[in-house]
């Protein structure tokens, strides 16, 4: 409620007393950057869930989290891709690995108000020069599926495209056709990344190497702590020139993927400067259309415009990969899961049976 937010100020979200929840669990404790605890709601309309409480624990070091999982201190854990080979080769841990598609898309996001990404040909060059298959299979240890579009396969609005697929020759040609005429006259390009994530460094080094080898462009790597990077990406005046970003589905409809994120007046689009009136016209019409077939067609047209605009290479759809203890039962994973498997479909049935 507005008055509760005003009462708590900018840190209102840290106080469970200022949260209103009518689901099967209610927030009772927040320890910033450490944990959030939810306890069963005895007044939930469907009855009391099987679990008494759920704790979501934050641990930046994936190696520490894995050891805690092995020791039985946590019941579910999302491993870093670099840990997957060892997990898959372990006779016990491999049996506890749960893997399924996530309704998430990651892109190399450009600030469209800053050179050189005001030039569409430069954006096209960067899109063509990214080898998504190698990035997923080798750099990220197979934890993602390459994509060339914003809306993942299986979600209405996905169109299936090969536009801007990896093609070094087309990449070099696009850069030559840009207003810069090639790599030599480009301004400095910075790739800003989360320095709190130990896995980020080799990934951004690979990306920089890819653009150096194919386009002859030298990328400056800019490490920033996670909290600062989040703040930078929320402010149009500080949005990075280039950074990895993405979208996690709120609800399985193209409106959530297109209108909410990419319209000219959308908070997200305003941060990095995307605006296409033709796109806006189509999604606005689709948002108001009652005929499901017609609205999906309109969203597909808008999605194609977005792809054509090349606002930043669409790279991959992550896989949800979890280690789950054998005694955890009653969960049904969905593509929208983010915090843990079954968070949207299984809160009433999720259980621990030791």
Any idea where the domains of the chain sit in the sequence?
2-99+322-352, 104-317
The pLDDT of residue 60: 83
Q: How far apart are CA 115 and CA 179, in angstroms?
A: 11
Average pLDDT over residues 267-296: 98
- Per-residue pLDDT reduced to its tens digit, 83-135: 999 999 999 999 999 999 899 999 999 999 999 999 999 999 999 999 999 99
**Cα gap 299→157, rounded to integer Å:** 6
Helix (H, G, I), strand (E, B) or coil at 98: strand
The reported pLDDT for the residue numbered 198 is: 85
Checking if the pLDDT of 53 tops 90, the result is: yes
- Out of 3.90.45.10, 3.30.930.10, 3.90.198.10, 3.10.105.10, the CATH code matching 104-317 is 3.10.105.10
Kindly tell me if the per-residue pLDDT of 301 is higher than 90: yes
> What's the rounded Cα separation, in Å, for the pair 139 and 84?
12
- Helix, strand, coil percentages for the chain (3-state, nearest 5): 40, 20, 45
For residue 54, which phi and psi values (nearest 5 degrees)? -130, 130
Which CATH number is 2-99+322-352 given? 3.40.190.10
């Amino acid at each position: 409620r507005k008055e509760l937010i005003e009462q708590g100020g900018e840190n209102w979200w840290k106080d469970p007393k200022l949260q209103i929840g009518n689901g099967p669990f209610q927030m009772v404790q927040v320890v910033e950057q450490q944990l959030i605890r939810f306890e069963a709601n005895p007044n939930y309309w469907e009855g009391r869930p099987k679990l008494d409480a759920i704790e979501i624990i934050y641990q930046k070091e994936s190696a520490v989290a894995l050891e805690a999982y092995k020791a039985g201190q946590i019941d579910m854990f999302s491993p870093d891709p670099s840990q997957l080979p060892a997990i898959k080769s372990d006779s016990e841990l491999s049996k506890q690995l749960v893997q399924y598609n996530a309704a998430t898309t990651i892109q190399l996001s450009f600030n469209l108000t800053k050179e050189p990404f005001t030039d569409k040909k430069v954006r096209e060059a960067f899109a063509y020069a990214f080898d998504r298959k190698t990035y997923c299979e080798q750099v990220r240890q197979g934890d993602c599926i390459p994509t060339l579009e914003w809306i993942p396969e299986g979600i209405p609005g996905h169109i299936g495209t090969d536009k801007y697929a990896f093609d070094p020759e087309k990449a070099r040609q696009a850069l030559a056709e840009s207003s810069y005429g090639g790599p030599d006259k480009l301004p400095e390009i910075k790739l800003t990344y989360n320095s709190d994530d130990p896995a980020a460094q080799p990934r951004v080094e690979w990306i920089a190497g890819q653009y150096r080898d194919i386009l002859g462009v030298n990328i400056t790597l800019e490490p920033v702590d996670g909290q600062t990077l989040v703040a930078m990406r929320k402010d149009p005046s500080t949005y990075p020139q280039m950074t990895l970003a993405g979208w996690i589905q709120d609800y399985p409809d193209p409106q959530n993927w297109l209108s909410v994120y990419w319209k000219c007046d959308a908070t997200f689009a305003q941060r990095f400067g995307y605006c296409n009136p033709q796109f806006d016209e189509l999604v606005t019409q689709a948002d108001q259309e009652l005929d499901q077939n017609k609205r999906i067609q309109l969203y597909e047209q808008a999605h194609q415009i977005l792809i054509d605009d090349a606002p930043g290479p669409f790279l991959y759809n992550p896989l949800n990969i979890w280690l789950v203890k054998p005694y955890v039962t009653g969960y049904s994973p969905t593509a929208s899961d983010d915090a843990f498997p079954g968070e949207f479909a299984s809160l009433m049935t999720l259980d621990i049976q030791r």
